[in-house]
Structure 1
Amino acid sequence: MSVRTLVPLLLASLMLGCGGNARPIPPVAKVDVPRFMGDWYVIAHIPSRPEREAFDAVESYALRPDGRIQTTFRYRKGSFDAPIKTMHPIGTVKPGTNGAEWGMQFIWPIKAEYVIVYLDPDYQQTIVGRSKRDYMWLMSRSPSLSEADYQKAMTRLAALGYDLSQVRRVPQSAAGTR
């Protein structure tokens, strides 16, 4: 099979796999996107493959002049002493979602679903999820959460249909990845 034939078939199968039969995950009512920008420490997640051994994970967002969101994900793989690795996906706010649903593009032309399902009023804690309930990120503006706040987040995730046995706490050092 030629590359010209294989690439469209691969893309079609990926797109079909992204839809699935999962019930949509409910987003928050509204996100002030400029206020959401900045650094978010990943406290816990259901990790994608590159994140499985993440330490000191921080997701940073910055609005670009074209309205898209420049994202920098920094982490150390396997230990606090490992070198910092980075990924640079581009976010696009989905029209008509009040800033709560984004497409996150790691590889063109595929945009992964990225839904803000919880955001505290002070923009200090957030949960980002997906309708497939395959990935999730609990993030905070600081490198730690109180145990009470962590347990509230786990209760929210369970109510959204997440399997809590898949959740991994992300080790954060006092210094972080700055």
Structure 2
Amino acid sequence: MRLAAAVLALGVLAGCANSGTGVVPPKTVDRVDLARYQGTWYEQARLPMFFQRDCAQSEAHYSLQDDGSIGVLNRCRTLEGEWQQAEGRAVPQVEGKTDKLWVTFDNWFSNLLPGVAKGDYWVLYLDNDYRTALVGSPNRKFLWLLTREQKVSAAQRDKLLEVARSQGYDTQELIWRSPNAAIRTP
């Protein structure tokens, strides 16, 4: 059973990598001030993904570490109202550049295959006040619309959707934050 799960997880991670098909990857912001980026971010919407399949509300708590990495605590309120969480760490993909990060979580799969079990975290948009952010993967399969507040304003939502679409992400499949259940946009 664990072997099957490991093979499935490896397949998912392989799908996260840029396939080298000649498709131009999305553009990221020039630089992220990690000290300003730390703190709590609320997920307003996301593209469907296996690991968040039961999440109705999600939030990420980032904390800058002494070694320059970012401590990651992701919390998810399930459809049944229970909270689940995962702890991890983010590091720059290229030393000195903070717009593209690798994220790994402290779980059995990461312990089994260290260095392989990591996901892309590309910051595609960040407002000047560090209040709204758009994060995605280079293959455009994963996307998160994040804000500092639990509720997104219409202006914030529209700006994030505009940037996502301009970067080639399919926003028709977004799952929006809900107090009771995950809902899809029509």
- Report % sequence identity: 24
- Given candidates 104, 113, 120, the residue that maps to 2:120 is 113
User: In 2, distance between residues paired with 1:17 and 1:140?
Assistant: 24
Q: TM-score, normalised by structure 1?
A: 0.82
Equivalent position of 1:100 in the other structure: 99
> Given the superposition, is the C-alpha separation of residues 12 and 78 from structure 1 closer, same or farther in structure 2, using an over 3 Å criterion?
closer
Q: TM-score, normalised by structure 2?
A: 0.79
Cα shift at 1:50: 2.2
Distance 1:146 1:11 in 2: 37
Task: Evaluate the alpha carbon distance shift between residue 73 and residue 96 of structure 1 in structure 2; reply closer, same or farther with a 3 A threshold.
Answer: same
- Contact persistence 2:74–2:86 (CA under 8 A): yes
Report the AA paired with residue 58 of structure 2.
A
CA–CA distance in structure 2, aligned partners of residues 12 and 47 of structure 1: 16
Q: What is the DSSP-based 3-state SS (H/G/I as helix, E as strand, rest coil) of the residue aligned with 2:145?
A: strand
Q: CA deviation at 1:52?
A: 2.5
In the alignment, the residues of structure 2 paired with residue 144 and residue 35 of structure 1 have an alpha-carbon distance, to the nearest angstrom, of: 20
Partner of 2:46: 45
Is 1:139 equivalent to 2:146 in the alignment? yes
Mean alpha-carbon deviation: is it higher for 23-32 or for 10-19?
A: 10-19
- Using a 3 Å threshold, how does the CA distance of structure 1 residues 155 and 12 change in structure 2: closer, same or farther? closer
Alpha-carbon distance, 1:149 to partner: 1.8
Cα deviation, 1:102-157, whole Å, max 9, x if unaligned, reads: 01113222221110000000000000011110010110000011112212211111
Question: Structure 2 vs 1, CA of residues 15 and 97 (structure 1 numbering), >3 Å: closer, same or farther?
Answer: farther
In 2, Cα distance between the equivalents of 1:127 and 1:163?
A: 13
Structure 2: segments with no counterpart, 5+ residues? 181-186
Q: Which of 140, 145, 163 in structure 1 is aligned with 2:170? A: 163
Any idea what SS the aligned residue of 1:40 has? strand
1:122 maps to which of 122, 125, 129: 129
Would the aligned equivalents of 1:68 and 1:91 in 2 still touch at CA under 8 Å? yes
Task: Please state whether the residue corresponding to 1:19 is helix, strand or coil.
Answer: coil
The alpha-carbon deviation at position 17 of structure 1 amounts to 6.5
| Cα gap change, 1:133 to 1:158, in 2 (>3 Å) | same
Relative to 1, partners in 2 of residues 1:68 and 1:126: Cα closer, same or farther, differing over 3 Å? same
- Give the CA deviation at 1:165: 1.4
